[in-house]
């Protein structure tokens, strides 16, 4: 009958808001994405209209399982504009392909507007290719010595530099599969 969430007030004082839904039934997932859309728009309006462009308290949205809440309307545009208003979004995904499935051509824009990325391991090909192109090769220094004993003792030394794809190390990681993009300000976490 009336608004009791007051989403636009979250940037006025320290507040924790938890949006929880079933991880097996996505019937009401659209409500979570709708709430995020309204939250971002209301906070931007409040920052502009009341506080001259910046909220007094930074609002950080940790959006775990971002692929399972449905598409947040205009997320690519929001990710590009909310940071200047003291709002940030941290999208937690299992794989980059999930973001591609939801946001199609806007995936690169969303990723590009995040100033930090964290990869905890995985085997999904699109994600690994992306990280491989970002990380390049690691240089491994190998230093071998050998001693041969017989009538005459001989010593040998071999020094090599090897280039190894960094994703090899990521795939071999035993860390749980998780992928995070964060759209935060520079001084963020």
Residue 179 and residue 141 share a domain? no
Write out pLDDT tens, residues 58-101. 999 999 989 899 899 999 999 999 999 999 999 998 888 999 99
Mean pLDDT (whole number) for 169-186: 45
Residue 108 and residue 131 share a domain? no
Report which secondary-structure segment, H or E, holds 171.
helix 166-171
Residue 37 and residue 127 share a domain? no
Count: domains in the chain: 2
Residue 116 and residue 127 share a domain? no
Q: Is the pLDDT of residue 35 over 90?
A: yes
Residue 100 and residue 60 share a domain? yes
Residue 78 and residue 140 share a domain? no
Mean pLDDT (whole number) for 4-33: 89
Burial environment of residue 74 by CB neighbours within 10 A (0 to 12, 13 to 18, 19 or more): middle
Residue 32 and residue 89 share a domain? yes
Q: Is the pLDDT of residue 157 over 90?
A: no
Residue 162 and residue 97 share a domain? no
Residue 78 and residue 28 share a domain? yes
- What does the pLDDT read at residue 33? 92
Which one has a higher pLDDT value, 53 or 139? 53
Residue range of the domain that includes 111: 1-121+175-189
| DSSP code, position 181 | E
Helices 125-135 and 96-103, interaxial angle, to 10°? 110
Which one has a higher pLDDT value, 155 or 177? 155
The residues facing 144 across adjacent strands are: 158
Residue 185 and residue 144 share a domain? no
Residue 179 and residue 155 share a domain? no
Write out pLDDT tens, residues 119-155. 777 788 888 888 777 777 766 777 788 888 888 888 7
């Amino acid at each position: 009958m009336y608004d009791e969430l007051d989403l636009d007030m979250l940037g006025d004082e320290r507040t924790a808001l938890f949006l929880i839904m079933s991880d097996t039934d996505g019937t009401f997932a659209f409500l979570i994405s709708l709430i995020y859309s309204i939250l971002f728009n209301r906070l931007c309006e409040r920052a502009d209209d009341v506080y001259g462009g910046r909220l007094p308290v930074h609002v950080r949205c940790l959006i775990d399982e971002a692929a399972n809440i449905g598409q947040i309307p205009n997320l690519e545009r929001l990710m590009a504009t909310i940071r200047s208003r003291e709002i940030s979004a941290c999208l937690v995904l299992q794989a980059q392909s999930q973001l591609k499935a939801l946001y199609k051509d806007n995936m690169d824009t969303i990723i590009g507007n995040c100033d930090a990325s964290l990869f905890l391991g995985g085997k999904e090909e699109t994600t690994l290719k992306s990280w491989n192109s970002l990380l390049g090769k690691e240089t491994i220094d190998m230093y071998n010595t050998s001693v041969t004993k017989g009538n005459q003792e001989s010593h040998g030394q071999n020094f090599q530099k090897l280039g190894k794809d960094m994703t090899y190390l990521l795939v071999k990681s035993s860390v749980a599969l998780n992928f995070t993009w964060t759209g935060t300000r520079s001084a963020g976490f």
